[in-house]
Structure 1
Amino acid sequence: MKAHILFVCLGNICRSPMAEAVMRHQVEQAHLADRIEVDSAGTGDWHLGHPPHEGTRKLLDQHQISHQGMKARLVAESDFESFDYIVCLDTKNLRDVRELLEKAGIEESGAKLFTFMELLPDRGIADVPDPYYDGNFPFVFELVDSGCKELLKRIQADMKFV
């Protein structure tokens, strides 16, 4: 059995691709790439087909984390059936994803749907800030790195493999 994770942000060029790349890296480091698949998507269509933002790529390169082949895409109805964990980078994205579920007439998705910062309750913030607007990619990376570690622990516990 495989776990499938989808990270969701607004444009799918800053936060969610950063989370996707970091999580993939952590999964590989834990030798679980055959058990856990990771993807990302956005709720807005402004950057479809574009690679991650330069700030995201630069930070991932600094940490020697691959972002090869990543391109922005929209959340699709099929994602609600394909993914076990849908992790929204902020509360607005969570509302948008819930609205997509409602519009699609999907009353109950098998996916666990939650915000990224629920993984880091001690941080005292509800949302991962969007570095597209403030340029603070290092802070976002710190949150993403810590949160992905917590998510990996949660998935390992859920799937009963360590």
Structure 2
Amino acid sequence: MFNKILVVCVGNICRSPSGERILQKKLPSKHIASAGIATQKSGLVGKSADAMACEVMQQYGVDLYDHKAQQLTPELCHEYDLILVMEKGHIEAVTNIAPEARGKTMLFGQWIGQRDIPDPYRQSREAFEHSLTLVDKAAQAWAAKL
């Protein structure tokens, strides 16, 4: 049913690419991508994943080095069956970009107590480790459901 999954955060350089790659590893038959709500506004379109995110994700055997950030668009929302966001507030942000996507937008942390996954951008290694541990747990939970 959900064959195309889009993982969304703010800049598409930390959480969403990590979620994308972990889900790809766990669900190899699915088409999974990621995008950012404010990637364009932040000047991050085409940028690589955050260096600390790349480093921490190596612990999970996940390579982010070839990631390029992209802006969430109405067209992308239309293309995917399921949109997974990192924070409850992102649901409204996605809805503002593509109102018709509201019914297929859910929290990435839905199955781990409907948790928001905090943004580690420009924070300590510990903040990245905490955030990406939650991304991994949430991805495992989604893989079990899908």
Into which bin does the TM-score normalised by the smaller protein fall?
A: 0.7 to 0.9
Normalising by structure 1, what TM-score?
0.79
Task: Determine whether 1:97 maps to 2:94.
Answer: yes
Structure 2 letter corresponding to 1:12: N
Q: Which residue of 2 aligns with 1:4?
A: 4
CA contact (8 A) 1:89 1:128 kept: yes
SS at match of 2:98: helix
Which amino acid letter does the alignment assign opposite residue 149 of structure 1? Q
- Give 2:50's aligned amino acid: H
Percent of matched pairs sharing the same residue? 25
2:31 matches 1:40? no
- 1:134 is displaced (CA, Å) by 3.3
Pick closer, same or farther for the CA change 1:117–1:2 going to 2, 3 Å.
closer
Cα-Cα RMSD: 1.9
Question: Does 2:21 correspond to 1:21?
Answer: yes
- Aligned residue in 2 for 1:128: 117
1:129 Cα deviation (Å)?
0.5
2:131 maps to 140
Task: Identify if the C-alpha distance between structure 1 residues 66 and 101 changes in structure 2 by more than 3 Å, giving closer, same or farther.
Answer: same
2:101 is the alignment partner of 1:119: no
Match of 1:61 in 2: 58
Q: Distance in 2 between matches of 1:50 and 1:150?
A: 29
**Which stretches of structure 1, 4 residues or longer, exceed 3 Å deviation after superposition?**
108-111
State the Cα distance separating 1:133 from its structure 2 match.
4.5
C-alpha separation between the residues in 2 aligned to 1:69 and 1:24? 14
From 83, 89, 97, give the equivalent of 1:86: 83
Q: Deviations over 1:49-90 (max 9, x none)?
A: 111101110011232212242110001111222111100101
TM-score, normalised on structure 2?
A: 0.87
> Runs of 5+ in structure 1 lacking a partner?
28-32, 103-107, 156-162
SS of the residue corresponding to residue 131 of structure 1 reads coil
Q: Distance in 2 between matches of 1:147 and 1:140?
A: 11
Unmatched runs of 5 consecutive residues or more in structure 2 = none
> Are the equivalent residues in 1 in contact too, given 2:94–2:101 (CA < 8 A)?
no
